[in-house]
Amino acid sequence: MNKSFFKFTILNQITEFVNKYCSLSILSPYDVNLILRENEYCHIFPKGSRLKGFDTNQLASNNPIEDSRTEASLIHTNGFVCGVFDGHGGPACSQVVSKRLLRYLAASLVPYDTLCKELSEGATSQSFLKCHNDKVDFVKEIRDLYEESFLRYVHLSLANKKYDIKERIENSVISLDEDLSREALEYPNVRTMSVAMSGAVACVALVTDVNVYIANIGDCAAVIGSCSESGQWITKVLTHEHNSDNIAEVKRILSEHPVKEKDTVIRNDRLLGQLAPLRALGDFRYKWSKNILKQVVVPKFGEIAVPLHYNTPPYLTAKPEVICHKILENDKFLVIASDGLWDFLSPTQVVNLVGEHILGKAFLEPFSFMENHTIKKAFVTLTQRKDGKKHKPLDQNSATHLIRNALGGTEYGIEHSKLSYYLSLPKDISRQYRDDITITVLFFNNDIKNSKTLS
């Protein structure tokens, strides 16, 4: 669906709702801030790191929230990896994938000799990365199964010594998806089946010394914010949405099935008339054979679990689209977010808002003249600081700043009543007007020559 049309429709619906339920209480600014900042997190890296730091936040609409996010520094290689995961059909798949995928990816990037050494010393799935703001883990019952799958994946990976980062990223995603399928079929229980029958789209970012690699599956998105020599913000969209608006994606799917299915593979802008994203992890009711669905799925979930016109599976893939972007001197930050944000803000608006937030925060910090600053660059910096005075941020966290503007922004600034109404909607109604929103903003350090390990 066209984003601007969707946004316009939502605003009309919310207005009708407010008029109908005029008794809905208005939240105070204090209450609004408590809600918006409940899940925010900020991390600052040591000086000399490739990244200055990152901000992240999420705001639920579904109950429970179906979005997940994870951020981690790589231990044995110099890098950082993070991901935003947008679940559907329940939170199970996104919650599991958000933890496991980064572990698979981190292990796949470890040099061969180091990996062999770690395995000989009893390495686990958490031996290759250091997670930030991750306070929970899987229960033992399922953790042991996941550890078995992880070690199996790592040993199989040892056979491929070719070091191509794009291939490693792609293989880690596909291997995890295959493990989710195998676990559900070999150990069918409430936990494994809930993961298999729900699904998740994802946008994962891997930052190395010189590059950003984006693995995109579905309809999350990633954008780079760059600053020109004149101080203007430039938007670089790195991802393509895998949905029916993507003509190339539609052609890909149609080419994989008989011509006689051209009217049933995608109906009403959805896969088999049901699923909006055309790539996803999990969702094995669109991947397993018809015999498996009848033997495993139908006894537990009924005939309704088998989609209509299910003739030549698989219809869905978890294969990511991997993009490599070389970090340029003018690249200042990367934003990855679930579609709950992009339903309200365009990539250009997001970049301008984060850029505005950076300038506003810079005004509050003491100015220091860097060795590599030219007179022209210093003049631009000082001008930006002066402009930042006008945009003194209400939120220290840039992800929170984006959520506040997404829900309450107008051409005249933040409208408190609009923001309050969105946050006041009852749980059983909220999903009709907006989706879960999850955002991570990474800030590049452009003033370094040699980076240190991100820790």
Report the candidate in 196, 199, 100 with the shortest Cα–Cα distance to residue 150: 100
pLDDT above 50: residue 411:
yes
Q: What is the pLDDT of residue 159?
A: 72
- Report which of residues 12 and 175 the model is more confident about: 175
| Fold for the domain defined by 3-242+316-444 | Phosphatase 2c; domain 1 (3.60.40)
pLDDT, residue 390, reads 59
Q: How many CA atoms lie within 13 A of 423 on its CB side?
A: 26
Amino acid at site 294: K
CA distance 99 to 103: 7
| DSSP three-state, residue 266 | strand
Residue 77 CB coordination number (10 Å): 16
Sign of CA dihedral 191, 103, 200, 432: positive
For 267-307, write each residue's pLDDT tens digit: 999 999 999 999 999 999 999 999 999 999 999 999 999 99
| Residue 399 in this model has a pLDDT that exceeds 90 | yes
CA distance 212 to 208: 6
Per-residue pLDDT band for 453 (boundaries 50, 70, 90) equals very low
Contact 57, 41 (CB under 8 A): yes
pLDDT recorded at residue 451: 47
Question: Sorting pLDDT into bands at 50, 70 and 90, what band is 450?
Answer: very low
Question: What local confidence, expressed as pLDDT, does residue 22 receive?
Answer: 45
Residue with tokens 């903003």: 441
Mean pLDDT of 242-262: 97
Count of other CB atoms within 10 angstroms of residue 10: 16
| Most confident segment among 130-144, 375-389, 437-451 | 130-144
Whether the CB-CB separation of 168 and 108 falls below 8 Å is answered with yes
Looking at per-residue pLDDT, the higher value among 452 and 430 belongs to 430
206 has which bridge partners?
Answer: 81, 213
pLDDT at residue 95 tops 50: yes
CA-CA-CA-CA torsion sign (444, 102, 222, 356)? negative
pLDDT at 360 > cutoff 60: yes
**pLDDT class of 157 with cuts at 50, 70, 90:** confident
What is the pLDDT averaged over residues 141-145?
94
Q: What is the DSSP letter of 230?
A: T
Sorted by sequence, the CB contacts under 8 Å of residue 140 that are 6+ apart come out as: none
Closest CA to 261 of 306, 311, 222: 311
**Mean pLDDT for all residues in the chain:** 89
The secondary element (H helix, E strand) that includes residue 157 is helix 140-157
Domain boundaries, the chain: 3-242+316-444, 243-276+281-315
**Quick one: tokens of 365?**
């910090």
CB 215 within 8 A of CB 169: yes
Share of the chain above pLDDT 70, in %: 85
pLDDT tens digits for range 60-72: 999 999 999 999 9
pLDDT of 17 reads 52
Q: In sequence order, what are the residues at sequence separation of 6 or more whose Cβ sits closer than 8 angstroms to the Cβ of residue 262?
A: 254
pLDDT for residue 372: 59
Which pTM was predicted?
0.89
Tokens 């730091």 found at: 53
For residue 72, the SS3 value is strand
